[in-house]
Structure 1
Amino acid sequence: MIRMGRSRTEPQEPANSYSQQTQTAPYQAEPTASSPSRAVTDSEAMARDIKEGRLSGFVGHGTVLSGETNFQAMLRVDGQLVGSVSSETGTLIVGSNGQVDANVSVAAAVVNGVVNGDIIASERVQLGRTARVVGNIQAPRMIIEDGAIFEGMCSMLGARKAIEQQAIESARQAEEEESLFAESNAIEIATETDEDDDELVEAAKG
């Protein structure tokens, strides 16, 4: 089992394992204000993101990992991952050269590479223009860019529930409007009856 998460010991900078990996789609480092005159390397940016909990793990180009992978915040795959991938609240990012041969169960998945397996996301799935997915997808939200290849079935989780809830709300609103209309008619009839009674009383007095 492969478990990825924030380490209790601070990562050393730079991390040699990251510096030896080559990436065609380099990790985008966030700007830092601590040393404006010095460029931040990819390995340093990754180490900082791991320390701060933004990046739980990274599978570099040319690296193959097999087994059950669990992570917390974010996992980026530019190599190959085989087995299963799961995270209750995390985001899986598959780079353009990345390949995941596994069933995926995460909060969100952003795919620009290859995924051979089913994807279940509790929040959303995004397929970039270089994505190729062979498997079924279940998610409440989906974004498929022009050029992406998707072979499988798609189920919008929560969509049926939302439609049923909308139907219930519409029926409830219709019942309320009908009830208000009936009450209005009853008041109008009662008013007309009172006016007729007053006219009869006046006629009797005359």
Structure 2
Amino acid sequence: QRHGIPLIFDEVVTGFRFAYGGAQEYYGVVPDLAAYGKIIGGGFPLAAVCGRREIMRAFDPRLEGTPDFVAQIGTLNGNPIAAVAGLATLAELRAPGVYQRLHRTGRALRDGLSEIVRKSGLAAQVIGETTVFDVVFTDRPVIDYRATLTANGAHLGTFNAECLRRGVVKGTSKIYVTLAHSDDDVARTLAVFAEAIEAVSRSGDAARA
């Protein structure tokens, strides 16, 4: 505000995962613009850019032909199936207790993995929030993207592959928690995480913390 620079949040990953109001609600910081991906459509091709009225008015078709107009086009704009899926998703997420359950599940997974990593003695740590996190194979403080570059990518590759071999599919760089995960899923996943971390420890030159 002091310098007149808009604050923009990329909420493609964090939107509706941290809270119904996304990272801005979770952290208590309201941006001038925010971008959301297909999570708002329950996985269907739907996205949104939201922002303050004085910024969003640039999309007003009545301004077309003026220097203040910004064109916004898309192949799937107004797709009815995606829109209906989006409404259903929002209704589901507004149900009482949804985010308490989501964070409880995520906390069990994240804290469980943290304890597994701690006991292994590996130079590794678990970073992230309860609904989006991952293990990073470095003992250096991870406070930004550059810090992640110090991590041992080979160990992460081994960890991911060992999880996959045992039937747990995770992202290459993130673990996403969903409402579909049950307590049994958490227990099974933690058992697989423990075996995968053990496999990393046995991989030869695993750096010790």
Same fold (TM over 0.5): no
The structure having more radius of gyration, on CA atoms, is 1
Which is helix-richer, 1 or 2? 2
TM-score normalized by structure 2?
A: 0.21
Bigger relative contact order (CA 8 A; separation at least 6): 2
TM-score normalized by structure 1?
A: 0.21
